Structure formats: C-alpha cells, structure tokens
Amino acid sequence: MQRVITQTVSITRCSAFRRKVLFSCYRQTAAMSTLLINQPKYSWLKELGLREENDGVYNGTWGGKGEVITSYCPANNEPIAKVRQATMQEYEETVKKAKDAWKVWADIPAPKRGEIVRQIGDALRKKSKVLGSLVSLEMGKIFVEGVGEVQEYIDVCDYAVGLSRMIGGPVLPSERPGHALIEQWNPVGLVGIITAFNFPVAVYGWNNAIALISGNVCLWKGAPTTPLTSVAVTKIVAEVLEENKLPGAICSMTCGGADIGTALAKDERVDLVSFTGSTNVGKQVALTVQERFGRQLLELGGNNAIIVFEDADLNLVIPSALFAAVGTAGQRCTTTRRLFLHESVHDVVVEKLAKAYKQVRIGDPWDPSTMYGPLHTKQAVDMYLAAVDQAKQQGGTVVCGGKVIDRPGNYVEPTIVTGLAHNAPIVHTETFAPILYVLKFKTEEEAFARNNEVKQGLSSSIFTTDMGKVFRWLGPKGSDCGIVNVNIPTSGAEIGGAFGGEKHTGGGRESGSDAWKQYMRRSTCTINYSKELPLAQGIKFE
C-alpha cells in the first residue's frame, strides 16, 4: 500500500513538473513570437543572418554564453530580437585569437590587405539597403540616413584600398656621408574599437577599414543598445575573411556592457583603444589607457555652433540650420546645438526657422517620406524634458516644440529656444536631443569668442559672403574646432577629411587625410652603407 501511495505521489509530482516545463516552454515561445523578427513585415531581418536569439561573440567561431539582452525598436519600443553577450572568459579567448590572427595578417603585403578591404566594401554594397533598414529599425534614424551610414563604411573601404598602396614615410637627407635616413611605419597590432549607438555602422567602418590596411587586427565592442547591427555587420565581414581562408579573428567582436569596455581599456594586449561616446565615459577610458601608457583615439562630445552674419544668404542658412539641428533627431556628435544670429537678422531667421520646423515630417523612420524619427531610448526622452525645463528656468523661451509627442515610441518635438544668455549653464551642456539654442551677437569678435567658450571643440560653421571674415574664421583667432566650415552646416562630414575635434572632444582623428597614422607606429631608421662611422653633429670620439 505504501508503495502504491509513493508511486502515486511520484506520478503526481512528475505531472506537475511536466506541466511546469510545458508552461515555461509556452511562455518562452510566446515571448519569441512577440519579437519583430518573427513578424512578416520584418522578415527581411533574416536576410542579414539574424534569428530570434543571436550569438554576440565572433573570433573565427560564433559564441556567446553571457547575459541575453533584447534589442528594442525606438519607434515603437517593441522587441526586435535577442543577443547573447560575451562572458569575460570569452573576451579573454577572443583577445588571444586576435593576437594570433595578427601574426598572419601582418605578414600579408599592404596592397593584398587592401584587396580584402575592397571585398568587404563590395559585400556591404550588396546589402546596403537591408543593413540600412536595420540601422533605421534598431537605432531610430530615418531610412535614408541608415543607408547613408552604410555607404560611409563602403566609401571608407574604397578610400582604404587606394591608401594601401600609398602609405609610406619620407626618405630624409642625412648629414652623414654614406648614410640613409628613413621613416618606417608599422602596425600597432590589436585595435580595440568601442562605438556608440548613434552611428552603429559608420564609426566601426572608419576604424576598421583604415586599421586593416595598416596591418592591424580589430576587436569591436558596439553599443549595448544596437547589438543586432554589430552582429549583422560582423557576419558580412566574417564571410569575406572565411572565403579568403583568413582567420576570422582578424575582425573579432564581443557584444557586452561596461565590463567588456573596461577590460579593453585596461588590457595591455590591446595596442590602441578607439573610443567613440560621451565625454564623461571617454575621460574614464583615457585615464585607464594612459595609466598603462597605451594608445588611445577619442571621439567624444560636441557643442557645435553656427554663426550667421548680417550678410549671410538666408536661403542657405534656414535649410542648413534645420538639417544640422533636427537630423538624426539631434543625436549626432556634429548636431548644431547653438545658433548665433547677428542682431540685425535674428528675428527674421527665428521666424523662418520656426516655420520650417513645423513642416518637418515626423513618423516611422523606415518610411521613405519621414524626415525625423524618434530618440534612441526612453532615458533620452527624460534628458530632453529635463533640458527644456532647465532652459525655461534659466530665462529661455520655447519658440516651438518642447514636448513629448503622444504616439508609440520615443518621439519628442524638435525644439527652438530663444532668449538665453550665451553662457547659461544649459547652453554649455551637450544634451543629445533636438534642442536648438538661438542666441544674439553684435560683433565678429564676440561671435568667435562665444563659439570657442564651450569645453568641446568638434564642429563649427559661419555663414557670410565676406572673405575677410572667412579667412579670420579659418585662422589662429577663429574657430578652435577640428571641423571648421563656411556656408554649410556643422554636420555631414566627408570621409576624405580627418574627422575629430579638440579640447573635451578628445583630440582624435579618424577616416581621411593622414588619420591612418593613428593606427601605426613610426620608427626613424638610420642605415650606414659606408665603411666609415661618422657621428652626428660633427662629434668626434677617438
């Protein structure tokens, strides 16, 4: 009898356990079915090799045993898909594989490395629209900007291919007979690339393409809120490496949070840390890397200004200010946040600009007719509201905008604020949101000084037809920014020029010009091909 009772209890417990497992599986299946990737409208995500749950580590093989995170669409705050992040053990394994891969990659001649980068560019071309759609879906920028961002990576690949046949140091005249003096440039080794949410493709592309042709391998940690884009891009690059029978760890990736970022900064095996993000975090990265005498490339904040003089062409000013302040919903590091207007044109420009703001088409970022999408996160909406409130408290008047838009997603109104002092605390604060502070000025000296008085020094623009003003603006007493424009907005930099800024912007330079030097180390080499041993500076040691 006891045995029967025991068996009955065991069967009952077993049935309860089975129901619990089945219920758990049901809940998991239900959760998966709510992901956007499983809806027919978003089936194109699978063209990028994405699934409901994705590996967040690549080092020649795919993995991810860490925390499972969900990526959300800023336009509706619905879950897109999931990613398994890297554990610290997987990070360690990835660094070791990357260092081993470098031994292979560094031996490949630079033009041959350029050929691999060319193939990466071509692979991106084939998927530029679908990858741009993912950027739009996951980051929130409008579709044309998402595709444009992928195009930046493609363009930098093209640029890097040419550069792979041109990198070189000078042959210098030696003061000693029978001697040659040359500069030799070699790769630094392993480049750790930490990118931000607002450009989840392009910033990696700038670093990756130039680092690769320079002979480096890369380890990428993308933003935790855009992990699907990191995975999709890495799949495209990995396929090229695998087709060429090269170690996949040449372009490694570890999705993760602050723990992975801190590890990269501290790791002496990471020869260069390229960090793009906020000034506050960038300062921590800089201190950590400097403590180990490592190399760093910092692309941080920008509190960018447009200055409009009395002789400016307002037909250029209005669309320029609109695009630079509202584009990407104010989430570019080159976004215009301060608009200095000569007192004689202040009122008319504010009136025209406010009218233009009301014509901005707000909507789903992947709708081709949309000009303005959502902020990236709910936290960004809170920061926007706090900044508007502070602007009012400090004497500002909201001319248009200033509110959250009542619709699904993280939408806020593009905002213009007038009446603030040029040195008001909120004016000197970079809020990553579409808020434009409009300020009056009287003289050229006053305008230039106010452009330079903020801590950041990324991008700046003036609008004028006076060539004297133009060259003074470009000169030593003009703008102190890394990007100095005339009659164009602060945003929209081309890949051919070095990108970066001064002061709290970090001082780094990426992309064009001689930015490749950031990814290489220089040796001054003296070769004695004579039978004598003369010393420099005429010194005799006999």
Q: Determine if residue 277 is left, alpha or beta; phi over 0 gives left, psi from -120 to 50 gives alpha, anything else beta.
A: left
d(CA 157, CA 160): 5
Matching residue, tokens 């001649």: 109
263 within 8 A of 111, measured Cβ to Cβ = no
3-state helix, strand, coil in the chain (%, to 5): 45, 20, 35
- Residue 314: phi and psi, rounded to 5, are -70, -20
Cα 484 to Cα 192, 222, 307, 448, 479: the distances in Å are 29, 29, 11, 12, 7
| 117 contact partners, CB below 8 Å, separation of at least 6 | 157, 160, 161, 164, 209, 212, 213
d(CA 339, CA 328): 18
Tokens of 500: 């970066």
Q: What is the CA radius of gyration of the chain?
A: 27
Active site residue 299: yes
Provide the terminal-to-terminal Cα distance of the chain, rounded to the nearest Å. Answer: 111
Q: Determine if residue 461 is left, alpha or beta; phi over 0 gives left, psi from -120 to 50 gives alpha, anything else beta.
A: beta
Q: Looking at 152, 299, 413, 444, which residue is catalytic?
A: 299
Find the angle CA(378)-CA(384)-CA(388) to the nearest 5 degrees.
Answer: 150
The string of DSSP codes covering 446-515 is HHHHHHHTSSEESEEEEE-S-HHHHHHHHSTTS--SSEEEESS-S----TTSEE--EETT-S--EESTTG
Cα 98 to Cα 73, 260, 295, 343: the distances in Å are 32, 15, 18, 57
Give me the amino acid identity at 246: L
Indicate which residues carry an active-site annotation: 299
